Structure 1
Amino acid sequence: MSDPSNSSGLLRRKSISDIAALEATGEGRLKRSITTFQLTCIGVGSTVGTGIFFIFSSAVPVAGPAVIFSFVIAAVTAGLTALCYAELASSIPASGSTYTYTYTTIGEFVAILVGACLILEYGVSTAAVSVLWSQYLNDLLDRTVGLRIPDVLSHAPGDGAGFGVNLPAIVLVALCAVLLIRGTSESARANAVMVVIKIGILAMFAIVGFTGFSLENLEPFAPFGVAGVGAASGLIFFSFIGLDAVSTAGEEVHNPKRTLPIALISALVVVTLIYLLVTMSAIGAQKYTEFEGQEAGLAEILQYVTGSSWPSIVLSAGAVVSIFSVTLVTLYGQTRILFAMSRDGLIPAVFSQVSPRSLAPVKNTIIVAFFVSLLAGFLPLDFLADLVSMGTLVAFIVVSAGVIILRRREPNIERGFKVPLYPVLPILSICACLYLISTLHIQTWILFAVWLAATSVLYFTYSRRRSALEPNRLQG
């Protein structure tokens, strides 16, 4: 049961036995249909493509060729956090990711704030990568048939289109929603195929890019010094967002205590290797001063290196497929977090209603797709990316702290994986996330504070009295 000493307070908690009891009854349970390979592909699919296809145009002008170290810093931060996720996922194998872990380790009020952070991570990230998909779709159409979707129909207001709308981004969100409504297993299989394609495309970029590698392009190596490397690290972290999507599938995988840690760590290794190869190839093939302002930048680099259009056409086509898979998985992660919050009574019950046919949260998916499509259609990319990074880093801090709290509070529970060098690595993870947060713009801090304030109002006016842990619970 929940913590009896705090049954009506802000920090009342769900116990692991509560989660186990829910699993035993099968009440509101999602269908277990995802394999270890498919789950690893969910991690890779939600990460590779989130930033690697566009991040160079904003990160390289800030750090120069030393951007490779920025990628290393971001990778280490993601790696430390992934280890913490692996331990909590193997201890609390339930849907909801960081939200559920927070509810179990810290308490209800912090959990709903973390849920708000995850809405930024998944919901806003889905919108951001949908905007990027629109860019590569336009590039592919231009290179193949010589046509471009007019700016007024492919750029949001504030993104060079006046009163325009990003229609391709909206269409992409709708397509992903349709696939998710059909069922989780079908979506996982489609994502696995798209992940294999995207890895092949990025491998092709690295191979072709290295044929144009020149040491002269690496000089000066760090034109903006350590400050530039640090600033770029905060931007680049956006490229690692999505690894934690693995943990949102805790109720839909076979043998979660074993499968979740394996999939998390495997996805991290694959993603890091891909990023480092692509980064070295890109900065060696093109002078750092030429990256700024490039749309569909990787395709432009291939065009420059080869002097031929076919490699860039292949890459643009691969990016269209790759970013589709990212959108699919991040939309999936968003719906599962809202599913968990709804089942706990903190948001309306419609988000936890499951279709009898597909055992998928269909109404949840439709609602999320509607609001995400509005963000994708009417907000510019840069605005979206910074908010995603802030929400994710805060959630990562809570996960790392959760490992320490759960080790002290429940040292004897079964753990399928344990963070090595405890408590050093969780503490380092917290410090690394705080460092990256410090590099974000002040406007992002202000918007994030407003978002958390709005969530607090929701909690005190609605969620607290309808919580499943509330003795005198209101319905509706």
Structure 2
Amino acid sequence: MFSSGFFLLPGLASAQAGPSVVLAYLIGGIMVLPAMLSAAELSTAMPRAGGPYYFLDRSLGPMVGTVGGLGTWMALIFKSAFALVGMGAYLAIFYEIPIKPVAVAFTLFFTALNIFGVKKTSGLQGILVVTLVSILIFFVIAGLAEIFSLGFYDTVENQFKPFTPFGFEGLIGTVGLVFVSYAGLTQVASVSEEVQNPDRNIPLGMILSLITATVVYVVGVFIMVAVLNPDSLREDLTPVATAAGQFLDWMPFQAGIILIVIAAIAAFASTGNAGIMSAARYPFAMARDNLLWKDLSAIGRHSTPTIAILVTSSVMIFFILVLNVEDIAKLASAFMLLIFGLLNLAVIIMRESRIEEYDPGFKSPLYPWTQVAGILISIWLIAEMGVLSVLFTLGLIIACIAYFHYYASKKVKRSGAIFHVHARLGKMQYEELEWEMRGILREKGLRKEDPYERAVGRSIVIELQEAEQIEEITERVSERLADRVGLPTNTLVELFHDESSEGVLPVGNNTGLKHIRIDSGTDTEIVLVRVKEGIRIDNENVVNVADTEESDDDVLHALIYLVSSNKKSGQHLRILAHLAEMIDSVDFCSRWNDAKDEAELREILLRDERFINLTIYSKGNTSELIHKKVKDLVLPGESLITIIKRSGQIIFPHGNTVLREDDELSIIGEKDDIEELKKQYLKS
């Protein structure tokens, strides 16, 4: 985010707004909030390469996705080109060099760096950002000290009046111009597929970035306006270095200006580098969806989208050579405003579609007013930016729609979530969208608060030696569940056999799932059914496998019943997806059939790093547990004893349960807590 918006743009923006340019940056930071919150929600629900393109494609359909993908790609190219031109301008302070050829040279350098891999790229990003922010903090502190030493009120009186010499229109038009300063805020969405723990890291990164950037932008631009001659500032392409020369002149050998040039180069390099990295993911993702030339989705030998990176950098070089600096800034801002408006609309569509698999880890507050405000802000600011920006934005939209209509529409058959919004359009729903999002749920895995381990750890186990009708099995299951969920057996049977339910859902590895949600605040409950002989389900008729000579591929040896509360539909789907993930392991079926007892059956479905079995012996580290009550144990973190196996019997422990020698404890907990238990009790 720190690059041209801070080191290059304040002079150009001051020429349109005068001293109110400071307010323009603050308003821009506030106005980007709706888009940031919407992008964070969409990124945690659908962490996929291409970010905004993917969100718009899956919410508003591939035609809008094409507009969004190509529009964002162009906006990031403009922003990165703007940054690299700025790098040339700052280097020109000390050396007589042509600015644009230098910008082209750096584009080629960062292109090569991106081709060699994101890990190398992100490592460089870390170094650049730490260097940049450290110098900017020094700049802000030294600048404020200078202003207060000269007299704060006198400085404001002399430098900030008149505050809006070009009127309110000039201020609002400048807000649209400086909006490019915040365009980097949502760039992380384009590489969200490669982010670990996206539910936490994406919104946290966005929020911290916005706070940091807004403070530095506003305070930094205030310092520039306060210490520089207004006429000089309006024509300055290196305003930060010029300002530093005013109050860091006490440093020897022009060290103050050198530091600012270093910070500027770090900022421009960071933006140019990240711009190529994220922009290239748009044609890559679109090609993967058959909207662009298929070769753009090719992965090179360094595991990066090489062709997409080369095409992106080539277009960037073209714009560096043919456009002037202010045009680049305006077009970048206009495109980003368009995309931000569409992202807000995408959240409304996804929420109103009622697709259960839409399960964001972060939800935008004050829905839908936040999104409505974001849409109106985008339309208003684009209109205030001038004829060039409006015409270019409309031209891009028309060109993208024409391209989609004449080329891409023949290659895609999907539609967006918008067709799920109204029941009258139900026949046009794209059912595979729900399956795609269910796959995303499976990839994302469980959240920390999901009670998966606890539910499996205390699950009911039913052993069947011979095949039974599915109705008989379901009745057995319902009888065992009735007390736990607080519903009569017959009610549960009806729910499991309801025509609207999905029946037995085969999920592979000789296993079927049956799941319901009930209108109560019940805990998640699981029942595991093992059928030794195996059953084959054909139109709800159960056949004993021993009586047939057919293939064993479609035989069920395991039935898993899942019951959750309607109040936690997202949690229900995540647990369902994780069960499918565990069942999909290569050795699941053999381990299931070979399990000696109930404890082993449960253990198969538990994640190894979050589960441990401990047997209490009179000798060794576990001897200290003998005769202790469960409530008196000091276990690491929030570890929990789910079951105790004693003399062949299964006990569900409570606080006053006293542990005995030879008890087998099944304990669940966070990964680090389980590791601590292993060190404490299994170290010998």
What range is the shorter-chain TM-score in? Answer: 0.7 to 0.9
Asked whether the 8 Å contact 2:296–2:307 carries over to 1, the reply is yes
* 1:195 to 2:125 alignment: no
Asked whether the 8 Å contact 2:225–2:233 carries over to 1, the reply is no
Cα deviation, 1:371-403, whole Å, max 9, x if unaligned, reads 211222332211211111111111000100111
- Cross-structure match for 1:184: 118
SS in 1 for 2:7: coil
* 1:138 to 2:111 alignment: no
- Decide which of 148, 151, 162 is 2:96's aligned counterpart: 148
Equivalent runs, 1:156-171 vs 2, <5 Å: 166-171=100-105
Structure 1 segments (4+ residues) deviating >6 Å: none
Tell me how far apart the structure 2 counterparts of residues 172 and 377 of structure 1 sit (CA, whole Å).
13
Cα deviation, 1:78-114, whole Å, max 9, x if unaligned, reads 1221011111111111111111111111111111011
Asked whether the 8 Å contact 1:120–1:392 carries over to 2, the reply is no
- Cross-structure match for 2:406: 461
- Decide which of 186, 201, 208 is 1:259's aligned counterpart: 201
Report the alpha carbon displacement of residue 174 of structure 1 after superposing the two structures with TM.
0.7
* 1:90 to 2:44 alignment: yes
Q: What amino acid is the match of 2:206?
A: L
- Cross-structure match for 2:383: 438
SS in 1 for 2:49: coil
Report the alpha carbon displacement of residue 363 of structure 1 after superposing the two structures with TM.
1.9
- Decide which of 230, 239, 245 is 1:303's aligned counterpart: 245
Asked whether the 8 Å contact 1:234–1:436 carries over to 2, the reply is yes
Q: How many residues align?
A: 404
Tell me how far apart the structure 2 counterparts of residues 338 and 468 of structure 1 sit (CA, whole Å).
19
Tell me how far apart the structure 2 counterparts of residues 450 and 220 of structure 1 sit (CA, whole Å).
38
SS in 1 for 2:385: coil
Cα deviation, 1:121-159, whole Å, max 9, x if unaligned, reads 1122222211111111111xx2xxxx301xxx43xxxxx
Identity score, percent? 23
Tell me how far apart the structure 2 counterparts of residues 227 and 335 of structure 1 sit (CA, whole Å).
36
- Decide which of 241, 254, 264 is 1:319's aligned counterpart: 264
- Cross-structure match for 1:339: 284
- Structure 1: where are the runs of 5+ without partners? 1-46, 155-165, 472-476
Equivalent runs, 1:64-463 vs 2, <5 Å: 64-139=18-93, 142=94, 147-149=95-97, 153-154=98-99, 166-213=100-147, 214-215=155-156, 216-307=158-249, 309-355=254-300, 357-410=301-354, 412=356, 413-463=358-408
SS in 2 for 1:52: helix
Tell me how far apart the structure 2 counterparts of residues 384 and 290 of structure 1 sit (CA, whole Å).
22
Q: Comparing both structures, which one devotes a greater share of its residues to helix? A: 1
Tell me how far apart the structure 2 counterparts of residues 395 and 419 of structure 1 sit (CA, whole Å).
17
Larger radius of gyration: 2
User: How much is the aligned-residue C-alpha RMSD, in angstroms?
Assistant: 1.8
Q: What amino acid is the match of 1:89?
A: S
SS in 1 for 2:241: helix
- Structure 2: where are the runs of 5+ without partners? 148-154, 416-429, 431-684
Tell me how far apart the structure 2 counterparts of residues 217 and 131 of structure 1 sit (CA, whole Å).
29
- 345-354 or 63-72: bigger deviation: 63-72
Report the alpha carbon displacement of residue 411 of structure 1 after superposing the two structures with TM.
5.7
Report the alpha carbon displacement of residue 233 of structure 1 after superposing the two structures with TM.
0.8
Report the alpha carbon displacement of residue 199 of structure 1 after superposing the two structures with TM.
0.9
- 444-453 or 398-407: bigger deviation: 444-453
Tell me how far apart the structure 2 counterparts of residues 226 and 378 of structure 1 sit (CA, whole Å).
32
Asked whether the 8 Å contact 1:93–1:257 carries over to 2, the reply is no
Asked whether the 8 Å contact 1:296–1:316 carries over to 2, the reply is no
- Cross-structure match for 1:43: none
Tell me how far apart the structure 2 counterparts of residues 72 and 113 of structure 1 sit (CA, whole Å).
29
Q: What amino acid is the match of 1:405?
A: I
- 284-293 or 173-182: bigger deviation: 284-293
Tell me how far apart the structure 2 counterparts of residues 302 and 273 of structure 1 sit (CA, whole Å).
18
Q: What amino acid is the match of 2:19?
A: P
Distance change in 2, residues 1:383/1:63 (3 Å): closer
Tell me how far apart the structure 1 counterparts of residues 339 and 72 of structure 2 sit (CA, whole Å).
7
Tell me how far apart the structure 2 counterparts of residues 260 and 375 of structure 1 sit (CA, whole Å).
30
